Amino acid sequence: MTPSIAVRFADLGWPIISPLISWHSGSWINHCDLVLNAGLVSAMPVSGVRLRPPATLPVKRELTIALPCTPEQHSHAAAFAAAQIGKPYDYFGTLAFPFRPPWNDKGRWFCSELTAACLHEAGIITVPKKASRISPAYLFQLCGGIER
């Protein structure tokens, strides 16, 4: 089977949280997941980083961007993602967004930073060295997405 890697961008439609994230980033996108052959790897409040079947997270709106990658890049991204499973959600990171702390604290994650780290570590996308926090909307841009 040909490796498949993609990012699913979504509006979860959660009261208060989703509109705040969308307002801060200036986009309808307030969540993202790494889509691998095995399922969705995502970081969510309460449950942290988990591998989920694709249909377990209902959304109001979504857009998936497939990313070209080699089998080696796919394996590297999947292995990095697997190593993050079980790590906690980065509540501090989401609250500290305006203060621009480093984006790649590998001890805890929120959705867009986890997804960006998996893709960056595998060489599928390049996150600029000057980047601080990576919002779902910023990751959308890094993946070549165009707002619709």
Q: What is the pLDDT of residues 88-125, one digit of tens each?
A: 988 776 665 555 555 566 788 889 999 999 999 999 99
Q: Is 21 left (phi over 0), alpha (psi -120 to 50) or beta?
A: alpha
CB neighbour class for 86 (10 Å; exposed up to 12, middle 13-18, buried from 19) = exposed
Q: What is the pLDDT of residues 20-73, one digit of tens each?
A: 888 888 899 999 999 988 889 999 988 999 999 877 677 889 999 999 999 999
Q: What pTM did the predictor assign?
A: 0.88
As given in the structure block, the two tokens for residue 63 are 């857009």
- Over the Cα atoms of the chain, what is R_g? 14
Q: Which is the CATH superfamily of the domain at 6-142?
A: endopeptidase domain like (from Nostoc punctiforme) (3.90.1720.10)
